[in-house]
Amino acid sequence: MSTEAVKVGLLGVGTVGGGVLKTIRLQQQKLSERLGRPVEIVKALVRDPGKKRTVELDHDLITTRFEEVLKSDVDIVVEVMGGVEPAYEYVRALIEKGCHIVTANKELLARHGTELIQLANRHQVQLAYEASVAGGIPILGVLRQFLRTNDISSVSGILNGTTNFILTQMEQAKLPYHEALKQAQELGYAEADPSSDVEGWDALYKSYILAQLVFGEALPLNQARRRGIDSLHLGQLTLAHELGYRIKLLAQATKAEGGVQLSVSPTLLPLDHPLAQVQGADNAVQVSGNIVGDLLFMGKGAGELPTASAVVEDLAYLLTQRFSPHPLWRERQGNHGVGKEGTWSFVYLESTGLQGTPEQILHFLNLGGVSIAKQRIQYDWANVLRIGVIARGFTDEHRAALQRDFGIQTDVFPVISRGEEQDILGAKGREVDGKEIHFGY
């Protein structure tokens, strides 16, 4: 066994960086056995050297100047500082110097991956990023190595642990959104500025990376359909649940005729759908292949050690592989991810003015050609009327008319259907008589 250690530089010693240090120390023997030589951290870039950390760090290793990492004799650099700048400049400089890169930085990849991959190929270094998607779940490795013969039609999942934790809390503890968010922040699941998580950016970056890996292309980020959970409220979750669904922040990358579709949206999943079972900060990814069928991968999506596990496994795997050029990524304009016609949606109607009865409102929709599979109606103590319907054919014109005629606010969410939904009202344009309408409450 050679005694020359693998020299590793570390950019960032926050939560994940601390976990990487701990993991390399704890699993040193396994790493040495596998690689034939030990792994040694030789330089760690931090912002604040005085900050208290959960992991001990030799003072000689710490630096606040990137140049010291760059000029040190590192073979491979782990980038876990997050954010685009200055990570982008640092990673570029390191690749140009011939360093392999292991990164957990989804935003960096989603914004500059296309270019960084070309640069890495040109300099014959490896760029590894298993940790950037779904924490400790080795989903990228599986897709790159073991699902290459299948035609993959979609990769979807719950890719953001913070928002899944918030949704789980809202549903289980009947908390309004802002209280659940506060709880997530207190427990360290959400950051002080939670916008990247709750606005759906984080999940979008990850599904962009999945799309590039699986389909070799993705939409430019600004063309993807993105909606977060920050405008969701408890009434929507409750009505959805009564209708037999759970609302999850679902990220989807789907191969469609017009190109690859990307979307992140609060989405209704049937309660017995595997992704509806994913609770708390867990992540799950569902892959649909034409030969293998549906596969589901589930695990901890974030946190110090699960993400560190992906970083260190990635690092070790990289060191056992010969260099081969990374398949190129490309961005392509395309289908904006508008829902297919004829699919069912969850239409949520809310009115405080009580300008119409539920019967009138549903009759109005029915006359307007909207098919309704299921409905639930709630009044609360403040006389707020809430109607949730699983509907088909609901358009912006219906939305405008409801606002105008009944003072109703409308919100529409996609539904992952089991194909069981049927029009219970028999909507056929204007043929249906009001008396035929049956209500489920």
Binding mask 106-145 for a second copy (x = CB under 8 A): ------------------------x-----xxx--xx--x
Among 8, 10, 13, 23, binds a second copy (CB under 8 A): 23
Task: Give the range of 4-12, 100-108, 206-214, 284-292 binding a second copy by CB under 8 A.
Answer: 284-292
Q: Are 58 and 42 in contact (CB under 8 A)?
A: no
In the complex, what is the shortest distance from the CB of residue 237 to a second copy, in angstroms, rounded to a whole number? 19
Of 13, 21, 31, 210, the one binding a second copy by CB under 8 A:
31
User: Which residue is listed with tokens 């140009």?
Assistant: 96
Query: Which range binds a second copy by CB under 8 A, 51-59, 101-109, 146-154, 391-399?
Result: 146-154
Is 229 a binder of a second copy (CB under 8 A)?
A: no
Out of 147, 155, 262, 390, which residue is the one contacting a second copy (CB under 8 A)?
147
- In degrees, rounded to 5, the angle at the alpha carbon of residue 75 between the alpha carbons of residues 71 and 78 is 90
Q: Rounded to 5 degrees, what angle do the CA atoms 422, 228, 293 make?
A: 55
Choose among 308, 271, 407: nearest CA to 350. 407
DSSP per-residue codes, 192-242: SS-HHHHTTHHHHHHHHHHHHHHHS-B--GGGSEE--STT--HHHHHHHHH
Single out the residue of 316, 370, 402, 437 in contact with a second copy (rule: CB under 8 A).
316
Which of 114, 317, 367, 368 binds a second copy (CB under 8 A)? It is 317
Amino acid at 319: L
Q: Quick one: 46 or 137, whose CB is closer to a second copy?
A: 137
CB of 279 to a second copy, least distance (A): 8
Identified binder of a second copy from the candidate list 72, 153, 183, 277, rule CB under 8 A: 277
Cα dihedral 143, 148, 154, 155, rounded to 10, equals 0
10 Å CB burial of residue 123 (0-12, 13-18, 19+) is middle
Choices 116-124, 219-227, 261-269, 283-291; region in contact with a second copy by CB under 8 A? 283-291
Catalytically annotated residues: 206
Minimum Å gap between C-beta 296 and a second copy is 4
Residue 1 binding a second copy, by CB under 8 A:
no
Helices assigned H by DSSP within 174-200: 177-186, 195-198
Q: Which of residues 294-313 bind a second copy (CB under 8 A)?
A: 294-300, 305-306, 308-310, 312-313
Tokens (6 digits) for 317: 């795997």
Instruction: Quickly list DSSP for 116-127.
Output: HHHHHHHTT--E
Q: Which of 5, 7, 14, 27 binds a second copy (CB under 8 A)?
A: 27
Residue 192 and residue 182: Cα distance in Å, rounded?
Answer: 9
- 291 sits near a second copy (criterion: CB under 8 A): yes
- Nearer to a second copy by Cβ, of 258 and 274: the residue is 274
Closest by alpha carbon to 93, among 117, 66, 115? Answer: 66
Complex with a second copy: residue 277 or 335, whichever CB lies closer: 277
- SS3 assignment, position 36: coil
Please give the residues from 45 up to 84 whose contact with a second copy meets the rule CB under 8 A.
Answer: none
DSSP type of residue 83? S
Q: Can you tell me the distance from the alpha carbon of 20 to that of 17, in angstroms, rounded to the nearest whole number?
A: 5
Does position 246 bind a second copy by CB under 8 A? no
Q: Which is nearer to a second copy, 84 or 187 (CB)?
A: 187
Contacts of 188 (CB under 8 A, 6+ apart): none
Taking the complex as a whole, the smallest distance from the CB of residue 158 to a second copy amounts, in Å, to 13
Minimum gap (Å) between residue 100 Cβ and a second copy: 16
Tell which residue, 109, 31, 149, 11, has the closest CA to residue 326: 109
- Number of residues located near a second copy, criterion CB under 8 A: 42
30 binds a second copy (CB under 8 A): yes
**Residues paired with residue 387 on neighbouring β-strands, in sequence order:** 349, 377
Stretch that binds a second copy, among 8-16, 149-157, 206-214, 409-417 (CB under 8 A): 149-157
Contact between 263 and a second copy (CB under 8 A)? no
Write down the least CB distance from residue 30 to a second copy, Å.
6
Kindly give the interhelix angle for 234-242 and 161-173, rounded to the nearest 10 degrees.
70
Q: How far, CA to CA in Å, does 233 sit from each of 10, 176, 179, 192, 237?
A: 41, 6, 11, 21, 7
Direct distance between the N- and C-terminal alpha carbons of the chain, in angstroms, rounded to an integer: 73
Residues in contact with a second copy by CB under 8 A are: 23, 26-27, 30-31, 34, 130, 136-138, 141-142, 145-151, 274, 277, 289-300, 305-306, 308-310, 312-313, 316-317
